[in-house]
Structure 1
Amino acid sequence: MWQCSSKMDSALKEETGASISPVLKKRKCLIKSIHLKQNTKAEPLLVSFSNGQVLDKANLKGTLYQNTSANKRQKRQRVFAVDTPKMRYAGKNFGVEAGTTSRESVFIGVLDKNTGKMELVETSTFLLHPVLEDIKSTNHHLQDSIHSLTFDEKQEQVATSFGTKKAKQYVNRRKQYQVNTEEMALAIDQAASAIDMKSEDLDQGAKEKDTYLSVLPECDREASHIEDVYKLEVIAPDNFLCYFEKPARHLLEGNDPDENCTLLFRELLASAKLEEEEENQLRLACVALYVEVLIKFLSLRDRDFAKDPLQECPTKIRSYIFHEYTQLNNKRRVRNREAEDRARVSTLILAFIANKYQLSVSTLLQSVPIERQKLDILMKVIGAHHLRDSNLYKLKLPLARLAKQYKGRSRK
């Protein structure tokens, strides 16, 4: 049973403009079903406008366009347009013009008060901007000044002229933080030429981008509680873990796990059974199952991807792992070093969360395909402390600092 707060209903009421009760009451309900977005079908849309709001009696006509490319990732790209008597508004869920919420999963909860069951429907969010047409003028000076503006510059002009006070303040802050890139590049070149660098001092990985932050999930190093540094609902939300609910319940009922499972999985499952609340037991058991799947994924080699591995894993989870941690190269699925490290870091963080933020060094080396030196580096990246007296890694505040900046090397 997954807990669902009525705050979700309140958020929906804010979107629809309905009245909101001043007192928020928590209630528990059963998630009956989850309807995810599909490329071939349209889903409910949550739409907002960048420079205005919809009137009560407005009769707007919207059209949803979908990319028909054969590429699966591009098929998810959609454009939503709304026509008004005087102007057209358009927004898309991809690219730099998409809002931050377009990259997050948003669900609408439909609660049946008679049965106490709720259906979750995944939606798409769009931030619509006015479509500004080119000025029709015979003055070529005026035409050049308009056509030379970028999309962001046009948006700044609209916000400055017609936007709210908050929008104008945002534009002013952006202008204050702008830096003359030519002067900055010249200063960097002068500083670099003033240093006599030897060839042996150059690191081979310096030519590649610094992956110190790219291997970490969302991290709040200034958090006052260890639970808020890496949040479980960000790395593996409930709508993601629910695919492991059936096997997790099977294990919590006293059935033995697979004899080939890792020692780490057995310890995480035992830790989940110690929880007092049934809901927490189920959630942590699902986390343990997800950790086990990631360990099996890390044990694979590039040539194994052609055999369509992880068949016992739920389809949605397998698709997410391949999409997140692999890439296609000449129609072959491969995994570079940075993606492999991101998968390792996610595995270690989830294991910390499921085991009260401490892990045995020997258990990790027996379970996760990783060398001790590499394990120490990734633990420093995560911020975990090594307790030499007990041979444990412990994630606690303040986080451990990385003495040397971590750099990953991609495979050729």
Structure 2
Amino acid sequence: MAAFARWQYCGEPAEGQKAALVQFSNGKLQNSENVNFSLYKSKDTTNPRKKFRRILAAETDRLSYVGNNFGTGALKCNNLCRYFVGVLNKNSGQMEIYDAELFNMQPVFPDDLNNSETTLGNKTKSYRDQVDFCIEAFGTTKQKRALSSRRMNKVGSETLNNAVAKAAENIIDEKGVTALVKDAAKDDLQDESAYLPPCHTDGVKPEEIYKFEDLLSPAEYNALQVPSEVLKNVTSEEIMKMIEENSYCTFVIEALKNLPLDEESRDRKARCLWFLNILIKFRSQTVIRKKNSLGPDVPHIINTKLLKNFTSLTYNNGSLRNLISESMKAKITAYAIALALHINDFQTDLTMLQRDMKLSEKRIIEIAKAMRLKISKKKLSLEPGSEEDHKIGTLSIPLPALPRQKRT
């Protein structure tokens, strides 16, 4: 007669006590006996965002691996699914079920693995050494490059050349030259697209490259109907008053002077201009201390969109706050350019946007080129007898090639 196992769920785990399930990004584990695992927990138990953070390290005779449940390298599936591990007692026929968490183990290649191990176990190491180790395991591509450059200046040339040669041989043996080239290209593309709106490169028309729905959802667009009425029915006298009060940015003021006569087109343009003005005002802030920081006229759904998509939630002095970091400011700039393209038939004045957002010309051109815009010059008349050069960004098919990344 066949035997049956009985399931027994061991209950909700104690705070942070979950079994660890691991997967290796560069292959399958053949022999688990040759791997040593170490689990590190955050000491900050008062911070609600940090107390559940875990770092799992694995050591083999060839490579070291690191996985974590937070940051950009964490698996999103941990937030969407629950994982369980069952341990079967063959004698009693009872299977105990425990909560589990999935870790994606990534290989790391520090300059000297022994030094990294010493840093983990030795609390007397300097703060600089501890920060360097964290950058090696979890830093961004830019941080890792800066760390590598600093160490290159510190280490003797002969020792460095030997270390680099050995590391290169190990990496090439493990992945192969072709795979490394593909990984490098993929990393560059991810760095570029981190703050850009979704780009549909297979689009056959400019409006299909940066889709309007990716900038404003139908619900958000509908919410703009009431607040944008002031722009839809604006008069010349009201435009002059806007200029005197500096209540709207220059790009919006100039666009209001040429609103289309068609009712539907006029309404759409007014809504887009109102949201663009709010987006530029939002960018000028650094810390959002209250949800309606832009005033009571901003619809709730728009406030939520701005906080969710263009701020980073940080923990400071026992409270959570929304911070607009430099990377988020770059993201807002990219979305403002994309919206301006839809407003002006996919050709927009970058110089005017640059001044409204208080950017350098180099920075806005850099973002525009990353968005695959063609950059040209155009002379604009300011006063009788005077002209000024403006940079114009145009989105056209076929898309130009992405600018090359400078690798250090």
TM-score by length of 1: 0.48
Bigger radius of gyration among the two: 2
Task: Calculate the TM-score normalised by the size of structure 2.
Answer: 0.49
